[in-house]
Structure formats: structure tokens, C-alpha cells
Amino acid sequence: MLSQKCKYALQALMVLAKENSDNLLLVSEIAERENLPKKFLEAILLELNRNGIVRSRRGRGGGYALAKPADLITFGQVVRIMDGALAPLACVSVNYYRRCDECKDEQACEIRRVMRRVRDAIANELDGTSLAKAVAEGKAVAATLAAASSAAE
């Protein structure tokens, strides 16, 4: 399960992704729109900033925007920054690998083989989905929903 922190990060990033990228948004604006605890969100955006996902400017007229085009930011990147490994077990993580203390022979471990496939499935989805793609999907679904409801009148 993703942490709240990670979910909030994704919510904030989706807001920024829908915005014009040279239009800065205030932390308080994002927090209000998405109904998130402001101080916590501040810390989250700071961390995203340090990791090159968003950029910021301080002072009057300051705020946050994406640091790069929305199609270059994937859900996988964000989750890794916020929560660490995508993998269900550290021993199958690519980016955050750690050996299993209990298992004597990693190569023979059947559980590991199963979890490796799970990891790949997760990584496949999350690394294959950018913010831009999620926005586009959302628009497409909204459009078909609107069409269906107007056809029903």
C-alpha cells in the first residue's frame, strides 16, 4: 500500500500537470483544491523539488510548477522517491535491493521468483504511465461519459 505522503504527492503533481507549466501555483492553492494538509504538502513538494520533479520560486508571485514536461514524469519515479522500492520484497527490488536474511540461497528461493514477477508487473504499469498519460486518459473518459449522458437525454 502506498503511503498518504505518496498519494498526496501524486495528487499535487496531477494538479500541476493540468496547469500551464510556466504558471506557478501556491502550496496553499494546491492544498485547498485537493483538500490536503498544507504543512505536510509543503514538505512533500520540497522533497519533489530536491529530486528534480518540480521547480519553485520564492516570494511574491512564487509557487510550484513541474520541472519538466508531464510526459517525462512517471508514476514510478514519484513512488520511488516517496515510498522507496516498488517491489513487494526488498530482495527483488532493482533500485533498492537488499538481501533476505532468512533465505539461504537466493537463486533457489521460490518465493523470490514469484515476487520478481509481481515486481515486474508493478514496475511495468507505474513506469509506463506518465502524468501526461494519466491526464489524457482522464479527459478521454470524461468525454465518453459526457457523450453517453447526452445521448441518454
Please give the residues from 66 up to 105 whose contact with ligand FES meets the rule CB under 6 A. 89, 91, 100, 103
Residue 45 CA to residue 21 CA, distance in Å, equals 16
Contact status: 97 vs DNA (CB under 7 A): no
8/64 with CB nearer ligand FES: 8
31, 37 contact by CB (below 8 A): yes
Query: What is the pattern of x (binds a second copy, CB under 8 A) and - over residues 106-135?
Result: -xx-xx-xxx-xx--xx-xxx--x----xx
Please give the residues from 31 up to 70 whose contact with a second copy meets the rule CB under 8 A. 34-36
Residue 10 CA to residue 77 CA, distance in Å, equals 11
Contact status: 82 vs a second copy (CB under 8 A): no
Contact status: 21 vs DNA (CB under 7 A): no
Binding range to ligand FES, per CB under 6 A, among 56-64, 109-117, 118-126, 143-151: 109-117
Contact status: 111 vs ligand FES (CB under 6 A): yes
113 binds, among DNA, a second copy, ligand FES, none (CB under 5 to 8 A by kind): a second copy
55/133 with CB nearer a second copy: 133
Residues 6 or more apart in contact with residue 42 via CB below 8 angstroms: 27
51/133 with CB nearer DNA: 51
- In terms of Cβ atoms closer than 10 Å to its own Cβ (0-12, 13-18, 19+), residue 9 is buried
The alpha carbon of residue 36 and the mean position of all alpha carbons in its chain are separated, in whole angstroms, by 16
86, 61 contact by CB (below 8 A): no
106, 86 contact by CB (below 8 A): no
